[in-house]
Amino acid sequence: MKKILFIQPSCYDDDGVVIKKRTLHFVGLAFPIIAALTPDDWEVEVCVELIEKVPYDTDADVVGIGGMGQSTRRGIDLAKEFKRRGKTVIMGGPMVTLAPEFAAPFCDSIVRGSAETVWADVLDDLRRDQLKSEYYRPLESLSTPLPKYEVVLDKRIGDFLPVQAARGCVHSCRFCTIYCMYRNTYFRREIPEIVRDIRHVKSLGFRKFLLLDDNIMSDREFMLDLCRQIRGLDMTWMSQCVIDIGRDPEMLEAVRDSGCTALSFGLESINPASLKDIHKAWARPTEYASLIETISAAGIDVQSEMIVGVDSDTPESLRETIDFVADARIIAPKFYLMTPIPGTDLFDDMQKQGRIVIDDLFAMTSSKPSMTHPNMTTEELGDLYWEIYDRLYTIPKVLRRTIFQKYFFRAPRRYFFYLLVNLFYRYQVRRRIGPIVV
């Protein structure tokens, strides 16, 4: 029997130290799916570096490394070390898919795109000792076996598991890796398959799941039908969406009644010019406040992600963002510096313009400026980024949007949990650790 060790790498902080946490709340789905696709004559082990030590002395024949965003830098360093130890190393994930030339020199093979389309070929070639340097097959439809969640259940994880609904998005935001990977294609799974996975999550003792879908408003009828099927399962769930759901009372009601308690919205900016810069001019920031209130009043908690450093941003517009977020009482606001991720349209544009100011492209982080800005120096932009966080994560503002907000008595335990989340974010902000994606 051969053995494969899958590693989900962590990230480095600004001092080059590997970031660690006690608990992994957002469990990745890639390795449980790949484990389900791996025949029984392979032994599978999974290491999540964020919460575990990397077993450098593993007896695995093959090491598979895959992660997102900032974790790719750490993944490359792990690949180098395991290669030095004589292991066969395979790398995959969004960054490897979009910029394969940066990872390929450090491993034996790369898997681009959706691994499930080629995984059987990879294993066959490993058996025959004929591993190719690259594997890629376009995704034509989305169907997966029941994820092998067992590979992560013995780890320090939170109280929910992920379930995939779809991949891709119909929008074309120029900074977005999802757009650059799928180019406006939205792949839906069959609803009975999704429900099968939710039922299995429930059978494992969980009462909550994270619905993985880059935008649950991409196909309205599909989501309405899915919500009808989820409603009778007695589960709660979270996902991400465009803010337009606040304009659709039927959809909002269906999502809420099926058990949705929180949605994350990529608001990006309250500046219309900045939204136009990133090809998101269809969003209407003048309506954000009323839509957030509509969604909150419906019983769904609003989380947000916004970008700092779009070309049309100014110090004034960004400081106005602080007031907007505070007044809207967004339950868990996050901010990311505009980052030209290799392989995205934004990266290509910034590289042509000579605006990228960081040498190691995989060392880019969401909290350190990596390109020049027309209205601020990189130092001013970096300082303003942390000013936004500092001013929004004061104790009074944290309390105001958690236990002192008007919907507190609707779900007290949930809002106490948000208080803890906010206090943890505050702790990270004070240590100058920005949001990470691993």
Q: Are residues 229 and 351 in the same domain?
A: yes
- Mean pLDDT over 385-405 rounds to 96
- Tell me if 180 is assigned to some domain: yes
Q: Examine the domain organization and report whether 363 and 424 are in the same domain.
A: yes
User: Is residue 436 included in any domain, yes or no?
Assistant: no
Residues 164 and 115 in one domain: no
Any domain includes 143? no
How many alpha carbons fall within 13 Å on the CB side of residue 237?
A: 32
Q: Does residue 14 belong to any structural domain of this protein?
A: yes
Residue 269 lies in a domain: yes
The CATH number given to whatever domain includes residue 32 is: 3.40.50.2300
Predicted TM-score (pTM) of this structure: 0.93
Q: Do 90 and 175 reside in the same domain of the chain?
A: no
Whether 112 and 208 share a structural domain: no
Is residue 108 located within the same domain as residue 172?
no
Co-location of 214 and 88 in the same domain: no
For residue 332, the cross-strand partners are 303
Q: What is the CATH classification number for the domain harbouring 285? A: 3.80.30.20
Report pLDDT for 68.
Answer: 80
- 189-211 residues labelled b (16+ CB within 10 A) or e (exposed): beeebbbebbeebbeeebebbbb
Q: Give residue 181's pLDDT.
A: 84
**What percent of the chain is modeled with pLDDT above 70?**
99
Kindly tell me if the per-residue pLDDT of 374 is higher than 60: yes
Structural domain count of the chain: 2
What does the pLDDT read at residue 287? 96
Nearest in space to 158 (alpha carbons), one of 20, 22, 6: 22
279 and 217, same domain (yes or no): yes
- Per-residue pLDDT of 137-186, as tens digits, reads 999 999 999 999 999 999 999 999 999 999 988 888 888 888 888 888 89
When pLDDT is cut at 50, 70 and 90, the band that residue 436 belongs to is low
The answer on 92 and 21 residing in a single domain is: yes
Do 279 and 388 belong together in one domain?
yes
| Residue 169, both tokens | 């998005």
Quick one: pLDDT at residue 438? Answer: 44
Q: Domain for residue 103, yes or no?
A: yes
Residues 403 and 291 in one domain: yes
Question: Are residues 266 and 399 part of one domain?
Answer: yes
Q: Which domain holds residue 39?
A: 2-135
CA angle, 272 as apex, 267 and 273 as ends, to 5°?
120
Element (H or E) spanning 412, and its range? Answer: helix 412-430
Assigned domain for 305 exists: yes
| Range 37-63 average pLDDT | 96
Residue 209 lies in a domain: yes
Question: Average model confidence (pLDDT) for the chain?
Answer: 93
